[in-house]
Every structure is written in C-alpha cells, then in structure tokens.
Chain A
Amino acid sequence: MSIWEYANPVKFIRTTDRLMPYLAVGAVICLVSGLVWGFFFTPDDYRQGSTVKIIYLHVPAALMAINAWIMMLVASLVWIVRRHHVSALAARAAAPVGAVMTVIALATGAIWGQPMWGTWWVWDPRLTSFLILFLFYLGYIALWEAIEDDDTAADLTSILCLVGSVFAILSRYAVLFWNQGLHQGASLSLDKEEHVADVYSNPLYVSIAGFVLLFIALVFLRTQTEIRARRARALIARERLT
C-alpha cells in the first residue's frame, strides 16, 4: 500500500470518513480538558497573575497558524511535483483554518500584551511576521476564489504558498534571528531555563493536542467538501458541453 493511493478522491473520502469521528471526539476531549484544566486548576503566575491562563489558547493557536502553512507548503509541493488534485484541495481547505488560528493568536496576544507590556501592539519582529503571515493567508484564500480554472488556481496559489513559507518560518524563529522586541522566546523548550513550569506545561500539552486534532478533523472535512465542489463544477461544465 502506498500513500499515493489517497490521491484518489474516492479513497480519500472513504478513509477520512472513517477517521473523522475519532478525530472529532479526541479534539473535543482534549480541548475541553486542556482548557478546563488550565483555566480552573492552575495557579496564577507570580509576575503575570491570572493572564498566564491565556497561554492555553495563544500558544496552541500560534503553533497551528505556523504549522497549517507548513502543511499547505507540503501539499502545494506535492501538487507542483505530482499533480495530485487532492493535495491542492487539501492546501485550499487548510487555509481558512490556518487564518482563524492566526487571528486567535493575534487577538489573544494583543489582549495579553495590553496588561503585560502596556500596549496592544508593537512592531516587534515576531508580531510583525505573524501579521504578514495573516495577510498571506488572506491573499492565498482570495487567489483561490479569484481564479475560475482549478488547475491554474492551484498552480498560482502553490507559488504564493512557497513565498509565504518564509514568513511562516520567520514568525517561529524571529525572536532568535533578531534578538530584540517585547515577545519572549519559546514557551516550550528543551532548555529548562526557558521551559514554563510543569504546572502550566502539562495542561498546555493537552490543549495543543486538542488544537492539532481539531485542525486535522477540519482539514479532512473541508478537503472532502472541496473535492465535492470540484466534481460538481466538472459535472456542470460537462452538462453545458452536451
């Protein structure tokens, strides 16, 4: 059995149909338990007070915002190299999910930043690269909508995705590239000095698992929808010809 079998739309729909209920239930369990654990059963931080509870939304959303684009990059490369429609449609399906994750990261970051930094926004390298990543998401979604021919749209959006990957990577490593700005380094790190205390990181891992499962379930569902939309367009076009 090869992974390329799933490039067959029928096989993809059949397989993801079987997986989606488990992913959805897992996402709900992890999200609810991670957020409830973090919100109700973790202590206030000695410096940040109760705002530390925002970490259970901000960090997983930011993580997904970056990784959604990386997933789109991989799917776009598969489209460019192997011309599998399902991969192009999976990239298209992931974009709105990634965009919403970016909005959550930006919004919770601003809300968290106001009491901690004294400002909603600052042109810090990480914040700025995240804002640019959000604009790339909007551009990517708009480009898919603007082009009628699916293959041309997939080609052009794949190129845009390659370019946008610079900002996806930059938003992750901006703090390291430019040692300036207000945003802190990684919250979860192998370096014990940087890593948040276990009392905060354990519910954070559960919340991250919830966001990851939610992302996969939504991408599967939305890819199925894009496959059906593409087939509907093809049938309508065939009808017009006959």
Chain B
Amino acid sequence: MMPELGKYADAVLSSYAVSIALIVVLVALSIRRSRKLKVELAAIEERVKHG
C-alpha cells in the first residue's frame, strides 16, 4: 500500500510527520485551553454570584 518514494522518502515522510505533528499539537492545545477556561470562568461566576 505504501507508495514507492525512492530516494526522496526521507524528505516526503519528514514533511508529513512535522506538519501533522504541528497540527495535532495546535488542535490539542486549543481544545485544552478552551476546556480549562470554561471551568475557570464557571467557578469565578459562581463565586461572584454567591458573594
């Protein structure tokens, strides 16, 4: 199934590895920060509401 990449296999595979890794990290960090802020804001709003 793997295509024959010949002498450029390292270049092609490293391009895909670097790019996919960067995208996955970006998405993961964005989701993690979003979840963290939702929880933090809910806690602050609760605290403010109840004095």
Closest to A224 in B: B34
Contacts of B9 in A (CB 8 A): 50
The reply on A204 being an interface residue by CB < 8 A is: no
A-B contact count (CB 8 A): 93
Secondary structure of the B side of the interface?
Answer: helix
Stretch at the interface among A138-146, A165-173, A232-240: A232-240
Complex-state Cα separation, A69 to B15, whole angstroms: 23
B1 touches A228 (CB 8 A): no
Q: Which of A82-90, A96-104, A129-137 contacts B (4 or more CB under 8 A)?
A: A96-104
**Would you call A209 an interface residue if the criterion is a C-beta within 8 Å of the partner chain's C-beta atoms?**
no
A232 touches B48 (CB 8 A): no
Residues of A within 8 A of B45 (CB): 235
- In the assembled complex, A57 has its CB within 8 A of some CB on chain B: yes
Looking at the assembled complex, report how far the CB atom of B36 sits from the nearest CB atom of chain A, in whole angstroms.
Answer: 9
By CB atoms of chain A within 10 A, which of B15, B30, B31, B45 has the most? B15
- Render A101-112 as a binary contact track against B, CB cut-off 8 A, 1 for contact: 001100110011
**Provided the pairs A58-B15, A218-B30 are in contact, do residues A229 and B37 lie with their beta carbons within 8 angstroms?**
yes
By size class, the interface of chain B is: 20 to 34
Give residues in A with beta carbon < 8 Å to B.
Answer: 35, 39-40, 44, 49-51, 53-54, 57-58, 61, 96-97, 100, 103-104, 107-108, 111-112, 114-115, 214, 218, 221-222, 224-225, 228-229, 231-232, 235-236, 238-239
CA distance A229 to B22 in the complex (A): 24
Q: Determine whether the beta carbon of B34 is less than 8 Å from that of A100.
A: no
Contacts of A229 in B (CB 8 A): 37
Contact A54 B44 (CB under 8 A): no
